[in-house]
Structure formats: structure tokens, C-alpha cells
Amino acid sequence: MGFQQETNILTKEEIARAITRISHEILECNKDSKDFAVIGIRTRGYILAERMAEAIGKIDAMDVPVGALDITLYRDDLSDVGDQPVVHKTEIDFDIEGKTIILVDDVLYTGRTIRCALDALIDFGRPKSIQLAILIDRGHRELPIRADYVGKNLPTSQKESVQVKLKEIDGEDRVFIERHENDQNGK
């Protein structure tokens, strides 16, 4: 086995600033219509969505509906050999029909999670449009998907894994890279 090495990327304050900035951008881009909602992908995307909705509410004194989307049942690797999935609840207690939906996740990587989330979202109705907000975009896309709002673009190698920690779940706010070194060939 190799060893692990951590490199800090974002601090608590930097995460907060990124969320505030994205919230301003969302308002700016959607200034013609305030009929939008924020839906986060479970589990950390949902927490970021909650924070964004709160930030938007503070900036513009409006009440933004927040939803949680569980994409387990839409995963295209569900039947592959691997760990058993954990099924969470999807909770979207408003009508998405005709709304602009801001889809939120923590890390954008291959794009497969977002593909699942788009499928799942559309099963709830026909939104006016869907925009994507991401805290970290680490590249290596396998599908034609891009984010509309990005907290930080982070070039990575595929040996690395990007860890987003949020205090609601992990007890702290922090983003770092974990590097798994393989003594031999690092394949």
C-alpha cells in the first residue's frame, strides 16, 4: 500500500466566500425571474444548497425553496460489483414545473453524478431551465457537462481525490486533496 498526503485547498472562510460569490452570480444571472429553486445532491450538495439559499435570501430578502435529491436509484453503476448503496430520501416538496432549478453539488468530476441528477430531476416535472453550481471543479469530464457557477477550478490528477468536509456532517468546513502514492508504478 502507498501512503497518503493531504494538501489544503479551501479554508472555512474561503468556502463561505465562494458560496457568497456564487449566490451573487445566481441572482445576477436570474435577475429577470425570481422563480427559481435550489436543489442539492445528497449529501454534501444538499448542505451547500441550504447555505446558498440562505445566502441568497440574505442578499435579496427572498425565500428560496430548497430540495434534496438522492440519485442512488439513477446511478449507472448500480449493478456493478462494489459496495452496496445507501438509499436516502429525495425531498422536493415544491413543484419544479416551469421553475429555474439551480442544481448544487460539491465536486464536479466525470459528470456522471450530474447526468443521474438531471434524469432524476426531470422525473419530477419540466423545469424552465437547470443551472449547475459546483464548489470544486476538478476536471476529467467523461460526459459533455459543464458548471454554470464554480467555487474553484482545481486541476487534479486522477490519482488524487478531492475531499469536501462540511461541518453539518464532518464537524468542520475544509477542502483538501488526498494523494494516494503507489510505490511501484502509480497506475
Partner 1 sequence: MTRTVNKKSQWTHKDLLGLEYLSKEDIELILDTADSFREILDRPIKKVPALRGKTVVNLFYEPSTRTRVSFEIAAKRLSADVINIATETSSVKKGETLNDTGKNIEALKADIIVVRHNCSGAAAMLARHVNISVVNAGDGWHEHPTQGLLDIFTLRKKTGNIKGLNVSIVGDIAHSRVARSNIWGLTKLGANVTVCAPGMLIPPGIENMGIRATEDIGEALSNADAINVLRMQFERDEKGAFPKQMEYFKKFGITDERLEKAKKDIIVMHPGPINRGIEISSKVADGANSVILEQVTNGIAVRMAVLFWLSQAKKGLSK
Q: Is 65 in the site for partner 1 (CB under 8 A)?
A: no
Sketch the per residue contact string, 85 through 114, with partner 1: x for CB under 8 A, - otherwise: xxxxxxx-x---------------------
- What's the CA angle centered on 51, arms 131 and 130, to 5 degrees? 10
What is d(CA 171, CA 39) in angstroms, rounded to the nearest whole number? 22
Would you count residue 7 as binding partner 1 (CB under 8 A)?
no
| CA angle 49–52–55, rounded 5-degree value | 155
Write out the three cell numbers for 5.
498526503
Closest to partner 1 by CB, 120 or 147: 120
Under 8 Å CB-to-CB from 150, ≥6 apart: which residues?
22, 108, 133, 134, 136, 137
- Can you say how many angstroms the Cα of residue 94 is from the centroid of all Cα atoms in its chain? 20
**Smallest distance, Å, CB 30 to partner 1?**
23
Binding residue for partner 1, selected from 123, 142, 170, 181, defined by CB under 8 A: 123
Choose the binding region for partner 1 from 73-81, 105-113, 138-146, 173-181 (rule: CB under 8 A). Answer: 73-81
* 81 is a site residue for partner 1 (CB under 8 A): yes
73 binds partner 1 (CB under 8 A): yes
The distance of closest approach from Cβ of residue 119 to partner 1 in the complex, given in angstroms and rounded to an integer, is 7
For residues 45 and 137, which CB has a smaller minimum distance to partner 1 in the complex?
Answer: 45
Among residues 15, 41, 56, 74, the one that binds partner 1 under rule CB under 8 A = 74
* Gap between the Cα atoms of 178 and 185, Å rounded: 18
DSSP 72: G
Q: How many residues bind partner 1 (CB under 8 A)?
A: 26
The residues near 51 (Cβ < 8 Å, ≥ 6 apart) are: 19
Instruction: Decide: 3 and 179 in contact? Cβ < 8 Å.
Output: no
Q: Which is nearer to partner 1, 67 or 177 (CB)?
A: 67
Site of interaction with partner 1 (CB under 8 A):
66, 68, 70, 72-74, 78-79, 81-91, 93, 119-120, 122-125
